[in-house]
Amino acid sequence: MIVDGFDVEKEISLWTLDGNSMAIRREFTFADFKQAFEFMTLCAGYAEEIDHHPDWSNSWNKVLVSLTTHSAKALTKLDIQLAKAMDAFAAQVNSNN
């Protein structure tokens, strides 16, 4: 699927499209709650910078994320941008600990 010039499957291969292709989802798993919270803190700061916020939940070492652009009722480049940043933050948190 192409979104604003990005090939979703190629650009963010660890994410899955929901059934109607209006959102992408990923579950991040960390060693413990502290790492999960560190990841969420990094993501929250970046989300504020770009003014695009995830729908997410946390249960101990897992963070379940869904991204969509509600105002567009579709996926946009902001979703891809945030997904890429989240992938990088997860790698950073996992490599630091």
Render the chain in DSSP notation, one character per residue: -EETTEEHHHHTTT-EE-TTSS-EEEEEE-SSHHHHHHHHHHHHHHHHHHT---EEEEETTEEEEEE-BTTTTB--HHHHHHHHHHHHHHHHHHHH-
Q: Which residue did the predictor score with more confidence, 81 or 8?
A: 81
pLDDT of residue 7: 75
Q: What pLDDT band is residue 97 in, cutting at 50, 70 and 90? A: low
pLDDT tens-digit map of 70-90: 888 889 999 999 999 999 999
**Domain residues for 76?**
2-60+67-96
pTM of structure: 0.91
pLDDT of residue 48: 96
Q: Which residue did the predictor score with more confidence, 73 or 8?
A: 73
- Per the structure, the count of domains in the chain is 1
CATH number for the domain harbouring residue 89: 3.30.1360.20
**Average confidence (pLDDT) over 38-51:** 97
